[in-house]
Structure 1
Amino acid sequence: MTTITRDRSLIHHTGWGYFPVAFLARLPFAMMVVGVLTLVSSATDSVALAGLTSGAVGVGVVVAGPLIGDLVDRFGQRPVLLPIGIANGVLLSLFPLVVLSGLPDAAILAAGALIGLTAPQAAALSRTRLIAITRERVAEPRRERTLSRVMSYESAADETAFVVGPVLVGLLAALFAPWAPIAIAAALSFAFVTAFALHSTAALVDRAPAPAAGRAPLGAVLSGPVLLLVAATFGVGLFFGSTLTSLTAFAKASGRPELSGLLYGLMGIGSAVLALTVMLLPSRFRLSWRWLVFSGVLVASAAGYAFANDLGAVTVMLCLMGLGVGPTLVTLFSLAGERSPAGRSATTMTLLGSALTLAQAIAAAVTGAVAETASAQVAMLLPVVAASLVLVLGLVNSRVRTPVDGAARSARD
């Protein structure tokens, strides 16, 4: 890849239009699990089948994610993402027909799995794309700060998408029909995943894919330091899924079920805002320490949430939880950018994204069952478990020794 105009900012190379396209391209991914759950439960009157189908979507995502990342690392983003986005749009369009036509449960489960297998990995590939452009085209004096801003922005965009997605599903299902969220997700996949694949920034990244000789073997992604990040991201996904589901159960038990989406949105907004402020933290505040500090905030606030007994207290705790989860997610993806083996950035990022999505689906199913069989208050303990897992893994990470320290590698690369 040529390295001309290194004195220009990242925006010069991407253009302002890149960011709304990349954000909208990740919405189908954020909508599909909840959308499938909503449609199947409404059409079949079976919460069990709905949970299994959304779980099949999650399994499909986690199976295909690393494979898609490997293909991208080999052949570039555009040749891989374009057909996948089209296939996903087609499968989402057909899914309401499969569910509403009275086909056997096995057919519904298979359709859900296919949706997950073709899930567009726009968030992971956007990170990979911006990191590559920054490292190749931004001058060294401003590179470290630009990489920090990229990670902060991308995590904030993820937070926003994971809030907007479920809320959009709920609104469309309530205002139109249970199949409407899936139809909109299909349209978004056709339009914006395609636009993201065809955007000029893809050509910048794909122009010179890493040669096979310089690309680490796929097994290198499964190293201990990278798998530790995957496990921690899985813990964050468990936190998201258990919080949304337990909050829904609590709001319903309080007689205000319509407030669950709004309250969850408060956590997401605070999380996204603080994720953006991570770029202002000094480089001497190392990533390993950020992981411990912000996951500690997450555990403390989740404990307060678990023992809150009215909507006012829950609202306060949700805002505090947002202060912990956003920076934690930024930290994990920043470490992933540093630890990804040579030529395996897309594989690493898609692996983390897949873990996040699968964990959300699993946590939603488990938390829903706990709320139904025990109580909403018991279900509200599960985010504490998820947050504690992230903190424990942060303690393990503090003992990990990697060849290159974070900021140094970012600046050097």
Structure 2
Amino acid sequence: MAYRSLLRVPGAAFFPLGFLARLPYATSSLATLVLVQAASGSYAFAGLAAAAQGIANALGAPVAGTLADRHGHRLVGTLTALANAAALTALVAASHTGRASMLTAAALSGLTQPPIGPLVRVHWSRLLHARARPDLIPTAFSYEATADEISFVAGPALVGLLTTLGPTAPTVAAIALLLLATVPFALSLTRGSTEDRKGTRTSRTPLPRLPLAAMCLAMAAMGTVFGAVQTGVTAYSNESGHPGSAGLLYAVFGIGSAMAGAACAWLPARFGLRRRYVTFAATLLLGTLALVAGERGQVLPAAMAVAGVTVAPYLISLYALTERLAPADRATVALTILCAGGPLGTATGQALAGYLADRHGSAGAFLVAPVAAAAALLLAVTAVLAHSARTRR
């Protein structure tokens, strides 16, 4: 019933267009790994290029969020999509030149990445408050997490299929999606500006820096898991003699996650948000340990599906906690700061896993994931204990 009510709010075209709009982000990291590794012949350099892309995205996303809060979601979403298409075009051209140009173009493609996830979540929050349906916000966030995970199923699968046409094909497809889907979707969003109709600017509420930094670090831990798994499956596929299967294998990781994300809409209210945070951080650690065991036991596809179930519930908890922490007039920048941790962590995971993959194969790459998940659990426990201590005072 909750999802049926949600469908009636923004209009039918919003959902397919929104899904296509997020596919460039879902394909960018793996597509960059495939393109740069093919051009350079080095996993370590490919991991470095993907890391540069992720770090630049982590730096650029909060700036884009701040500009969106000040000047409007439509304007910022459209301009970043156009700039990102240009940067990816430069990356394709750079793959025929040298390593320095590839590294620069990869960084530019990260810096200009449109912050679709934060923009659409703020859009939902404002739209549902305007329609007097704030009770549907958790359902909207569950839907967005599910759509994210489905995109991370479809995105890597698309990369895997297109790689058979050549290493540049996935990046070219991302450029087409940016122009044909992300730009129109950005134009459909609420303006989201802190300026009123007369052009006067409202006072700006300070952000809760320490709690927001903790959420960003928690997202970075999740990103490190993603980066390690992406690099691990790429190495595993090459070791098995089927390099084109990397995207398909990584897509399995998202199937269980998408199903778990959709189910989160029906979690009972008595299962509080902070309890969910710690619980799902613990299950994430168990899922990454299953990946390591699955790689060693030659049952990696099954382990990927099991581990994927632990991903979306953890991410939904992070988004919901950050949305609760953020002042209403700073919601976009707060969520972009949270999301900045993702590519930063992915960059770290790819760099570390790439280094280990060159020396120890896929087994070394996958070991990075449970270390990052253990850090996520430690952060969750620390954050909840700190909150409990503050509420007792």
Shift of 1:369: 1.7
* Range moving further from structure 2, 12-21 or 298-307: 298-307
Aligned to 1:238: 224
Alignment-mate amino acid for residue 185 of structure 2? F
Q: Point out where structure 2 has 5 or more consecutive residues left out of the alignment.
A: none
Q: How far apart, in 2, do the equivalents of 1:45 and 1:301 lie?
A: 31
Aligned residues: 385
Q: Is the 8 A contact 1:76 1:209 kept in 2?
A: no
| Alignment correspondent of 1:378 | 364
| 2:22 corresponding residue in structure 1 | 26
Corresponding residue number in structure 2 for 1:51: 47
- One-letter amino acid of the counterpart of residue 314, structure 2: T
Segment drifting more, 12-21 vs 303-312: 303-312
CA apart distance, 1:289: 0.7
The partner residue of 1:158 within 140, 144, 148 is 148
Pair 1:294 & 2:280 matched: yes
TM-score, normalised to structure 2, is 0.90
Task: Please say if 1:125 is aligned against 2:112.
Answer: no
Q: CA deviation at 1:168?
A: 1.7
1:144-180 deviation per Cα after TM superposition (whole angstroms, max 9, x unaligned): 2x11111111111122223322332222121x22111
How far did 1:72 drift? 0.6
SS in 2 for 1:233: helix
- Is residue 211 of structure 2 the alignment partner of residue 225 of structure 1? yes
Deviation at 1:213, TM superposition (A): 3.5
Assess, with a 3 A threshold, how the Cα gap between structure 1 residues 133 and 10 changes in structure 2: closer, same or farther.
Answer: farther
Cα distance in structure 1, aligned partners of 2:196 and 2:256: 37
CA–CA distance in structure 2, aligned partners of residues 403 and 127 of structure 1:
30
Residue aligning to 1:409: none
Give the corresponding residue for 1:188.
177
2:99 aligns with 105
Deviations 1:225-272 (A, max 9, x none): 111111111111111121232234345445665554334322211111
Identity of aligned residues (%): 32
SS at match of 1:14: coil
Separation of aligned partners in 2, 1:116 and 1:380: 24
Question: Within 2, Cα distance between the matches of 1:112 and 1:342?
Answer: 34
Shift of 1:10: 4.5
> Aligned equivalents of 2:69 and 2:390: distance in 1?
22
In structure 1, distance between residues paired with 2:232 and 2:41? 21
Q: Secondary structure of 1:374's partner?
A: helix
Change (3 A) 1:286 1:404: farther
1:404/1:20 Cα in 2 relative to 1: closer, same or farther (>3 Å)?
farther
> Aligned residue for 1:96?
92
Matched, 1:368 2:360: no
Q: Is the 8 A contact 2:214 2:383 kept in 1?
A: yes
Give 1:108's aligned amino acid.
M
Select 1:134's aligned residue among 119, 122, 128.
Answer: 128
Whether 1:75 and 2:71 are equivalent positions in the alignment is yes
Residues 348-392 of structure 1, C-alpha deviations (whole Å, 9 max, x = no match): 111222211222232122112212212433333221111111111
| 2:40/2:99 contact within 8 Å kept | no
**Residues in 2 aligned to 1:349 and 1:248: alpha-carbon distance in whole angstroms:** 30
Q: 1:79 to 1:403 in 2, by over 3 A?
A: farther
Return 5+ residue gaps in structure 1 as ranges. 1-7, 406-413
Indicate the RMSD between aligned Cα atoms, in angstroms. Answer: 2.6
1:202 maps to what in 2?
A: 190
Q: 1:379 to 1:42 in 2, by over 3 A?
A: closer
Matched with 2:304 is 318
Measure, in 2, the Cα distance between the counterparts of 1:52 and 1:255: 24
CA distance in 2, matches of 1:321, 1:31: 20
Q: TM-score, normalised by structure 1?
A: 0.85
Provide Cα deviations, 1:41-77, integer angstroms capped at 9, x if missing partner: 2223344443332222112111110000001111110
Residues 95 and 111 in structure 1, CA contact (< 8 A), matched pair in contact too: yes
Instruction: Go from structure 1 to structure 2 and tell me whether the alpha carbon gap of 1:99 and 1:302 turns closer, same or farther (over 3 Å shift).
Output: closer
Counterpart for residue 66 of structure 1: 62
Distance 2:59 2:196 in 1: 24
The SS at the match of 2:84 is: helix
The one-letter amino acid paired with 1:29 is Y
